[in-house]
């Protein structure tokens, strides 16, 4: 059974804090993705990675960075959290190629 896990379901941080969101998949997938989802805006791609230590910017990378040191783990970093980064953050993974993505449970981040 496919499994993507995320480190926290709910997180509350203060403006200016550095925030780490972790994602782990156990399916040996090459591709991993970070999205944020906001009402009325749908899913927006922040970053994705197609291999260890490889990354590409998505549609909204500003204010975020990522790290992929191991195949199964993809981290999203908010360098200095701001209130407009309050959102639901979703991690996903897929096999190499145009195949199905599987999502983690999501992290609802609130920045105050």
Partner 1 sequence: QKEVEQNSGPLSVPEGAIASLNCTYSDRVSQSFFWYRQYSGKSPELIMSIYSNGDKEDGRFTAQLNKASQYVSLLIRDSQPSDSATYLCAVNGISGTYKYIFGTGTRLKVLA
- Tell me: does residue 103 bind partner 1 (CB under 8 A): yes
d(CA 51, CA 24) in angstroms, rounded, equals: 14
Which of 15-23, 61-69, 70-78, 100-108 is the region at the interface with partner 1 (rule: CB under 8 A)?
A: 100-108
Restricted to residues 23-82, the positions that interact with partner 1 (CB under 8 A) are 31, 33, 40-43, 45, 48, 50, 58
- Tell me: does residue 93 bind partner 1 (CB under 8 A): no
Q: 28 or 40, CB closer to partner 1?
A: 40
d(CA 99, CA 93) in angstroms, rounded, equals: 10
- Tell me: does residue 5 bind partner 1 (CB under 8 A): no
Q: How many CB atoms lie within 10 A of CB 60?
A: 14
CB 22 within 8 A of CB 7: yes
């Amino acid at each position: 059974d496919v499994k993507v896990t995320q480190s926290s379901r709910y997180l509350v941080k203060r403006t200016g804090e550095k925030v780490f969101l972790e994602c782990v998949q156990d399916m040996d997938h090459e591709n991993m993705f970070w999205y944020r989802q906001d009402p009325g805006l749908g899913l927006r791609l922040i970053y994705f990675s197609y291999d260890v230590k490889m990354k590409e910017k998505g549609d909204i990378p500003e204010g975020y960075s990522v790290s992929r040191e191991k195949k199964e783990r993809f981290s999203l970093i908010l360098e200095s959290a701001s209130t407009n980064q309050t959102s639901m953050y979703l991690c996903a993974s897929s096999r190499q190629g145009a195949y199905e993505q599987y999502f983690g449970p999501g992290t609802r981040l609130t920045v105050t």
